[in-house]
Amino acid sequence: MRLLCDEMLLRLGRWLRAAGYDTAIAEDGAADADLLARCAVENRVLLTRDLRLAARAEAATVPVVRLAAGDAAGQARELKAALDIDWLRAPFTRCLVDNAPLDPAPPEAAAEVPPSSRAAGGPLRRCPMCGRLYWPGGHVRRMQARLAAWKRD
Ligand SMILES: [Zn+2]
């Protein structure tokens, strides 16, 4: 399942990437018609809180989920109900910034990880698009705990 978040759902989009879902996020000021066309071409489900955009999507037979909650936890619950989203599908296998699938990082990349995090071990992954390195440090562990809570919720 591929998703497209409108620009108001940037945070939710990053959480979906953290859970491993292929999630595009609309650029600021993107036209509704362009979002709908992209969903159709890339076979994505549109996520939005915008009533008018949701109605346009329905008229164009683009699959859409209109979210009501204003916070990420509420939206996470709504998505689980609407699309059966598994919040622990494949945690931290995609870049949070650009959605690219991460590659295993070469062993020498460990030198870039703070020593305190290196001690914890775990997989190192690198984004082939932006070069960002991901390791299971405190930030990732906290995010993963939240994803686990959303899965149980
Ligand atoms: Zn990246």
DSSP-based three-state secondary structure for 103? strand
Q: Which 8-state DSSP code applies to residue 92?
A: T
**Dist. CA 119 → ligand 1 center (Å):** 24
| pLDDT for the residue 72 | 94
Q: What Cα–Cα distance (Å) separates residue 31 from each residue in 21, 28, 44, 68, 130?
A: 24, 9, 16, 21, 26
Residue type, 62: V
Q: Per-residue confidence at 138, pLDDT binned at 50, 70, 90?
A: confident
Q: Tell me: the pLDDT tens digits for 112-123? A: 888 877 777 778
Domains and CATH numbers, the chain: 2-83 (3.40.50), 103-152 (no CATH)
Cβ–Cβ under 8 Å, residues 140 and 113 = no
Region 22-43 average pLDDT:
96
pTM of the model: 0.94
**Dist. CA 126 → ligand 1 center (Å):** 8
**Dist. CA 135 → ligand 1 center (Å):** 14
The answer for residues whose C-beta is within 8 angstroms of residue 28's C-beta and 6 or more apart is 7
